Structure 1
């Protein structure tokens, strides 16, 4: 596997054994960095523009210099071209503060940029999830930023895996539904598609935004399966999840994935619901027609 390592200015491909960063890199020592995960299918990377726009927003939120997006695009293209064109692959772009003191204080050097690729397994047609007692802090300095400080997600996801699930869902500090460890959450209540507002501390997911835009357009066009536009709103955590007719997750690798069981309890009839199926089919069709939707 070839991995691209460099800075905002330049870099090059290395083998896995050669792809090294300094031990004092702030992304390693204190998690001072941001990242994006992009989906590549047969060598075509999806929604690059939207992902790089969010990478910039996250970097600005941490006070990092803007990533040079031309360099990042070239690094992604070189990395994908240098590795086999897998049926499905995860492309990881990591951007950190670079070499810094062994403390919370940053140094003044160049940021570090890394682009890596790994094969991914096809997403199952449906999944199981659990709720966890920990919360997203919607008032955190990191709220809404896709940072490399992911340890709380690691802990929550490990609990989900131990329970036979693939995702763990969080409330925020006010008891509102927020998000999963690496997903956004949608519910269907009486035929209405709803998802937490960004004020609940959830990430502004790329797939989330596309689902909202594409379902809204389909509804306004009178497409079958979408009786009303989707809504972003405050949703009480457990009451919403327990009363939902359907639940689905979105992410760059999962796309639109139905949840058929939550905390060991079947959602609906334990099968993919009609609204979720319509959203999934719509997303697949729109994504196949445009690899870089703006």
Structure 2
């Protein structure tokens, strides 16, 4: 069951609750966050709200109203009860013209909660499309998500559940809804933010918690991870790992039709995250 709150009230999934000319609908002028929910509590809420504000600033939007958002979060989680595993917060520019320009007015805030299943492993396919690391919205979590929809559909058609993208420089970048890590040489390495990837909350926490535990996980140096490094994964000399708010830390066991083993450091990273995330709900 999906529980939705907007305009200060709960609404049914098929109820018309937004304007047909909301700028988030007409041109994708909005930002969002997806959070895991553990035991009825949102995970890493402070970090997600901080990133939501960064994304809004990157689009030139006013800072979202945290008080209003938290009211919506409290309401939907109370209504959803133990079925909630996933929380989504969406903020748009509000009612606007049919074109790209904005009109002054209140933002639209939508909060929704629903069930989810976090799989311990993932299946990935290389995408034929690339991420533009020089885009005006590179690194922002916006509702302009059509590129990700197309890339993910392509991966699913190939037998995967996530697409992995290069950037325009031919570097390993990210998934459509995840960050990527390569395990090789006894360590996990993730592309730098300069690659154009999203500053993922799970990515960030894994880097921090691994440092605390002495697990070899780090951010890559510039030019360290070309997209062709994935050939090492299918050849069996490297391993691949995905991180995300509804994936947590997920070793990949299938890439482009090739079954691969989860790496030793990847499995240790998954165990670390699963343990600590339930001890620190708002790290």
TM-score range, shorter chain: over 0.9
* Superposed counterparts of 1:30-179, under 5 Å: 30-86=27-83, 89-121=85-117, 123-179=118-174
Secondary structure at the aligned position of 1:83 is classed as helix
Deviations along 1:233-282, one digit per CA (max 9) or x if unpaired, are 3344333222242110000010001111211223xxx2222111100011
Partner of 2:11: 14
Task: Give the count of matched residue pairs.
Answer: 277
- The answer to whether the 8 Å contact 1:246/1:259 transfers is yes
Partner of 1:240: 229
TM-score, normalised via structure 1 length: 0.90
TM-score, normalised via structure 2 length: 0.94
C-alpha separation between the residues in 2 aligned to 1:209 and 1:19?
37
C-alpha separation between the residues in 1 aligned to 2:53 and 2:79?
25
Deviations along 1:74-115, one digit per CA (max 9) or x if unpaired, are 2111111112321x5221111000000110010111110000
- The answer to whether the 8 Å contact 1:3/1:19 transfers is no
Partner of 1:223: none
2:264 aligns with one of 249, 254, 274: 274
Deviations along 1:179-232, one digit per CA (max 9) or x if unpaired, are 00000000111112110000111000000000000111111xxxxxx3x45233
Secondary structure at the aligned position of 2:136 is classed as coil
Which structure 2 segments of 5+ residues have no match? none
Q: CA RMSD in A?
A: 1.4
C-alpha separation between the residues in 1 aligned to 2:226 and 2:102?
37
Which structure 1 segments of 5+ residues have no match? 220-225
1:289 aligns with one of 265, 279, 282: 279
- The answer to whether the 8 Å contact 2:30/2:90 transfers is yes
C-alpha separation between the residues in 1 aligned to 2:19 and 2:112?
17
